[in-house]
Amino acid sequence: MIAARATSTEVEAMRRALALAAHGPATGVNPRVGCVLLSPAGDVLAEGWHRGAGTAHAEVDALAKLAPGAARGATAVVTLEPCNHVGRTGPCAVALIEAGVARVVYAVADPGDHSSGGAERLRAAGVAVEGGVLADEAEAFLADWLFTARTGRPKVIVKWASTLDGRVAAADGTSQWITGPDARADVHRRRAQADAIAVGTGTLLADDPALTARDADGGLLERQPVPVVFGHRPVPEGAAVTRHPHDPVQLAGDDLAADLRDLAGRGIRSLFVEGGPTLATAFLAAGLADELLVYLAPAALGGPRLAIGDLGVGTIAGAHRYDFTAVERLGDDVLLVARPRPAGGPRPNEGN
- Kindly tell me the burial class for residue 265, based on how many C-beta atoms sit within 10 Å of its own C-beta (0-12, 13-18, 19 or more): exposed
Sign for the pseudo-dihedral over CA of 250, 256, 261, 264:
positive
Q: What is the DSSP string of 68-96?
A: TTTTTT-EEEEEEPPP-S-SSS--HHHHH
Q: Which residues contact 254 (CB under 8 A, 6 or more apart)?
A: none
Element (H, E) at 322: strand 322-330
CB 291 within 8 A of CB 156: yes
Element (H, E) at 59: helix 58-63
CB 38 within 8 A of CB 27: no
Would you state the torsion angle of the CA atoms of residues 243, 244, 248, 253, taken in this order, to the nearest 10 degrees? -110
CA 98 from centre of chain:
34
Q: Which residues contact 121 (CB under 8 A, 6 or more apart)?
A: 84, 91, 93, 94, 97
148 vs 117: CA distance, rounded Å = 19
325 vs 343: CA distance, rounded Å = 17
Q: Residues with catalytic annotation?
A: 59
